[in-house]
Amino acid sequence: MLTRRRFVEAALAAAAMPRPASAQRRVIVDSAGRRVEVPSQIRRVFAAGGPASIFVYTLAPDALLGWTRAPTEEERRWLPAKYAELPALGRLTGRGNTANVEVVLAARPDVILDFGMIGDTYVSLAERVQEQTKVPYVLLDGSLGATARAYTLAGDMLGLAEPAAQLARYVERTLADVDRRVASVPKQRRPSVYYARGPKGLETAAPGSINAESLDRLGVRNVAAGSGRGLTTVSIEQVLAWDPDVILTLEPAFHASVRRDPAWRSVRAVRDGRVHLVPLMPFPWVDFPPSVNRVIGLRWLGHTLYADAFPGGLRDETRTFYQLFYHRAPDERQLDSLLGVSP
């Protein structure tokens, strides 16, 4: 795999070479209502963050210039080799952003694309980077309800209208079906849920944040209500006071050890054996990052939390989603590893 340093060195050398005269340009309106002038043909896309890298990969993998971080060895097994080998370029957005203007210029993108939250902070960043690099910077709303529309906008911009329409239709069908099934579950039967992030399980996401949007969509009682905005750190004493019915976690080590941890044993979810590890490969199904990976995660959450309303297995649906969005269907062993913790 190309290291980030080698990529930058090679791309800077290429950037010094004369570029062909720019093709015709056109103006699009992004999800923030910004009028952005983009090339009529876009072949090179710099993803501003983790959610954007997954979004671009699902629609236009050959246009994606690189990942925000290098895929792990295990993650690489779930991706076609030529995409697993893309360089790590860092990210422009999010906590601990690691990309800089030099990296962006070296990559020679036709456009920078971000997919996620839309707000003043992200608009300000987009305007600043666009001014510094002279590269058009497009913001797409990454909320679940806006994902189909984001595909339509991106498909039009990238000249991939039909593939984008196919992905948009899948998202719309999934959201409609999940919403219908959740609506059939009486509110009194919906569990209280604690979403455990971090190695000790003491980081969580409050309702209304993009990280907890999947839980919001499933209509659960997120015990972290009122604990802050977005991601927040809590104490074990607070979790004990909340006493959730269910714990969902992204952390395999925490999932493996929580039942043996004296501090957690008296939590209802631990006592009742309702601590569930979110499927993780190649991108976690609930969050981290909160991108299109959450679409298949909605069905897993439904099966996990409301078995009666979401009967049957997930193998066929998972295989279909992975082939359509990730360009590679998992084999039977991989399906076992993904779904082995499903109820």
Token representation of residue 4: 């980030």
| Confidence (pLDDT) at 149 | 98
Residue 71 has what DSSP assignment? Answer: P
Residue 196 has what DSSP assignment? Answer: E
The distance of Cα 82 from the centroid of its chain, to the nearest Å, equals 21
Domains of the chain, earliest start first: 4-175 (3.40.50.1980), 186-339 (3.40.50.1980)
* Average pLDDT rounded to a whole number, residues 110-123: 97
Give the separation between CA 253 and CA 257, rounded to whole angstroms.
Answer: 6
257 falls in which pLDDT band (50, 70, 90)? very high
* Average pLDDT rounded to a whole number, residues 302-323: 97
Give the separation between CA 338 and CA 320, rounded to whole angstroms.
Answer: 14
- CA within 13 Å, CB half, 325: 23
- Is it the case that residue 16 has pLDDT exceeding 60? no
pLDDT in tens, 166-207: 999 999 999 999 999 999 999 999 999 999 999 999 999 999
Is 246 in contact with 276 (CB distance < 8 Å)?
A: yes
Global pTM reads 0.92
Q: Which residues contact 107 (CB under 8 A, 6 or more apart)?
A: 7, 11, 44, 46, 65, 66, 89
Helix (H), strand (E) at residue 303: helix 294-305
6 falls in which pLDDT band (50, 70, 90)? low
94 falls in which pLDDT band (50, 70, 90)? confident
| Confidence (pLDDT) at 181 | 98
Residue 285 has what DSSP assignment? Answer: S
9 falls in which pLDDT band (50, 70, 90)? low
Mean pLDDT of the chain: 93
Token representation of residue 71: 């895929």
- Is it the case that residue 30 has pLDDT exceeding 50? yes
Token representation of residue 173: 């069908």
4 falls in which pLDDT band (50, 70, 90)? low
CA angle 124, 127, 128 (to 5 degrees): 85
* Average pLDDT rounded to a whole number, residues 240-247: 98
